[in-house]
């Protein structure tokens, strides 16, 4: 008899979880992105002990009916992609249909959801297995609580860092999501204390104020530019507002936060000698282009993307940033001399 066996779904979910679910912030990311994909305008995240004890995400999105709620925890269960053609025109954040299955396999979950038409439902899972499923009165939307993350994968649990480090990852994530979606009201609460709250009115400068403080937000200038293939807009700090790390330059491509070192370099180059040595600006850059110019399917966590026509995009950004900085600096100077 041969040695090869096809592994059961439960085991393969647990292995996939190793890739998708690295730490509490990865769970928050997947749950909040699902809430965004469901069209929510208000998303609240409650953490206990940085999410090690529990992570609750509440949204006012589409919700699910009973059939979808139970299907959603299946591997490769997704409502977002059905043909190969869809794969190259992805507009939603999730599409692999493996996040809920992976998270469920390494935690205990309570899901409450309703699509507003059929009555609500409460489902409980443990280590990926449904242990109860009860009809419950619930408003339209979804409320999912993930507790005891990694309770059945002790090796993964050991690898986690301190509460402060884990919380830091989630704060960074929520800041980026709030910047990516100024039209969604976000709230992040840790052990009962509010860490971030945005109003969902669509004003990026108000989101910047919620994250970096009003004084810094007032010292950020807006710019916009476009080429044949790309539209770019954003906010960049005056050279007097700097940070010791490049991480305060946030880049979004078609609504998705990405690590893009060449765009960060273009921004820094644009400041030229205006920046003190080893200091970097605060910036938020939104790039919009045909989804077909971006290859999102590079990394399981979807943080890295490839862009076509970078040779068009990078100088476009550098030029627009340089011109905004120059005019912001020189106009007030000229006025002072008078």
Check binding of 200 to Mg ion (CB under 5 A).
Answer: no
In the list 94, 128, 182, 281, the residue contacting Mg ion (rule: CB under 5 A) is 94
Residue 266: name its binding partner from ligand ADP, Mg ion, none (Cβ under 5 to 8 Å by kind). Answer: none
Check binding of 99 to Mg ion (CB under 5 A).
Answer: yes
Q: In this complex, which beta carbon is closest to Mg ion, that of residue 99 or of residue 325?
A: 99
Q: Choose among 286, 288, 224, 279: nearest CA to 247.
A: 279
- Interatomic CA distance for residues 138 and 280, integer angstroms: 47
Q: In this complex, which beta carbon is closest to ligand ADP, that of residue 99 or of residue 249?
A: 99
Find where tokens 């004003």 sit. 203
Residue 307: name its binding partner from Mg ion, ligand ADP, none (Cβ under 5 to 8 Å by kind). Answer: none
Q: In this complex, which beta carbon is closest to ligand ADP, that of residue 143 or of residue 318?
A: 143
Residue 61: name its binding partner from Mg ion, ligand ADP, none (Cβ under 5 to 8 Å by kind). Answer: ligand ADP
Residue 230: name its binding partner from ligand ADP, Mg ion, none (Cβ under 5 to 8 Å by kind). Answer: none
Which spans of this chain sit near ligand ADP (rule: CB under 6 A)? Answer: 30, 34-35, 38, 59, 61-64, 68, 72, 77-80, 94-101, 142
What count of other Cβ atoms lies within 10 Å of the Cβ of residue 75?
Answer: 17
Shortest spacing between CB 76 and Mg ion, in angstroms:
12
DSSP string, 201-249: SS-HHHHHHHHH-HHHHHTEEEEEEE-SSEEEEEEEE-TTSEESSGGGE
The dihedrals phi and psi of 276, each to the nearest 5 degrees, come to -60, 160
CB 260, CB 253: distance < 8 Å: yes
- The sign one gets for the Cα dihedral 278, 306, 289, 311 is positive
Shortest spacing between CB 324 and ligand ADP, in angstroms:
37
Secondary element (H or E) of residue 182 = none
In the list 25, 26, 34, 40, the residue contacting Mg ion (rule: CB under 5 A) is 34
Shortest spacing between CB 9 and ligand ADP, in angstroms:
14
């Amino acid at each position: 008899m041969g040695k090869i066996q096809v592994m059961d779904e439960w085991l393969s979910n647990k292995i996939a979880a190793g890739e998708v679910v690295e730490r509490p912030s990865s769970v928050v990311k997947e749950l909040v992105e699902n809430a965004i994909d469901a069209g929510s305008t208000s998303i609240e995240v409650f953490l206990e002990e940085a999410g090690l004890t529990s992570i609750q995400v509440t949204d006012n999105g589409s919700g699910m009916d009973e059939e979808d709620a139970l299907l959603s925890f299946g591997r490769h269960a997704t409502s977002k992609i059905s043909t190969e053609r869809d794969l190259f025109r992805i507009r939603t954040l999730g599409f692999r249909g493996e996040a809920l299955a992976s998270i469920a396999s390494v935690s205990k979950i309570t899901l409450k959801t309703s699509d507003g038409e059929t009555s609500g439902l409460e489902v409980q899972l443990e280590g990926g297995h449904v242990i109860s499923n009860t009809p419950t009165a619930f408003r339209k939307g979804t409320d999912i609580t993930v507790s005891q993350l990694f309770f059945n994968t002790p090796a993964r649990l050991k690898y986690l860092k301190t509460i402060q480090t884990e919380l830091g990852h989630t704060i960074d994530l929520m800041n980026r999501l709030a910047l990516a979606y100024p039209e969604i009201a976000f709230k992040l609460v840790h052990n009962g204390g509010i860490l971030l709250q945005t109003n969902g009115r669509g004003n990026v400068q108000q989101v910047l104020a919620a994250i970096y403080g009003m004084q810094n937000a007032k010292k950020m200038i807006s710019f916009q530019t476009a080429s044949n293939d790309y539209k770019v807009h954003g906010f960049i700090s005056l050279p007097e507002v700097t940070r010791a790390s490049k991480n305060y330059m946030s880049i979004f491509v078609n609504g998705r936060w990405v690590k893009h070192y060449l765009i960060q370099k273009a921004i820094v180059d644009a400041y030229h000698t205006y920046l003190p040595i080893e200091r970097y600006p605060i910036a938020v850059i939104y790039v919009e282009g045909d989804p077909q110019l971006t290859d999102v399917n590079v990394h399981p966590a979807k943080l890295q993307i490839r862009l076509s026509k970078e040779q068009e995009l990078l100088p476009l950004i550098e030029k627009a940033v340089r011109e905004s900085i120059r005019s912001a600096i020189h106009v007030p100077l000229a006025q002072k001399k008078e």
